[in-house]
Amino acid sequence: MDITASMVKELREKTGVGMMDCKEALKECGGEIAQAVDYLRKKGIATAQKRGGRATSEGQVQSYIHGGGKIGVLVEINSETDFSAKTDDFSEFVKNITMHIAAANPICVDRESIPEDILEKEKEIYATQARESGKPEKIIDKIVEGKMKKFYTEAALLDQPFVKNPDLTIQDLINEMMAKTGENIIIRRFTRYMLGDSDE
How many Cβ atoms sit within 10 Å of the Cβ of residue 197?
9
Asked if 18 and 78 sit in the same domain, the reply is no
For residue 11, tell me if it sits in a domain: yes
Q: How far is CA 21 from CA 85, 86, 109, 135, 151, in A?
A: 23, 24, 31, 52, 37
146 plus 162 within the same structural domain: no
Verify that 45 and 124 share a domain, yes or no.
no
- Decide if 199 is inside a domain: no
Write the CATH number for 20: 1.10.8.10
Mean pLDDT in consecutive groups of 10 residues from the start of the chain, 200 residues: 84 72 87 84 59 69 89 92 88 96 94 90 92 87 90 93 93 87 88 78
Does some domain include residue 13?
yes
Say which CATH number the domain at 84 has.
Answer: 3.30.479.20
Can you give the residue range of the structural domain that contains 134?
115-154
pLDDT value of residue 89: 92
- The predicted structure's pLDDT at residue 47: 54
Label residues 14-42 b or e (16+ Cβ within 10 Å = b): ebbbeeebbbbbbeebeeeeeebbebbbe
User: Is 200 part of any domain?
Assistant: no
Q: Is residue 170 part of a domain?
A: yes
Q: Are 15 and 173 in contact (CB under 8 A)?
A: no
Both 102 and 120 in one domain: the answer is: no
Does one domain contain both 71 and 160? yes
Looking at the structure, tell me whether residues 10 and 33 fall in a common domain.
yes
Q: Are residues 102 and 119 in the same domain?
A: no
Pair (10, 68) in one structural domain: no
Q: How many domains does the chain have?
A: 3
Examine the domain organization and report whether 147 and 131 are in the same domain: yes
Is the residue at 92 inside a domain? yes
**Could you tell me how far CA 44 lies from the centroid of its own chain?**
14
> Can you tell me the distance from the alpha carbon of 76 to that of 193, in angstroms, rounded to the nearest whole number?
15
36 found inside a domain: yes
Per-residue pLDDT, 45: 52
Query: Is there a single domain that holds both residue 25 and residue 79?
Result: no
Structure confidence at residue 124 (pLDDT): 92
Do 150 and 160 belong together in one domain? no
Q: How many residues does the chain have?
A: 200
Contacts of residue 130, Cβ cutoff 8 Å, sequence gap at least 6? 139, 140, 143, 144
Same domain for 13 and 38, yes or no, is yes
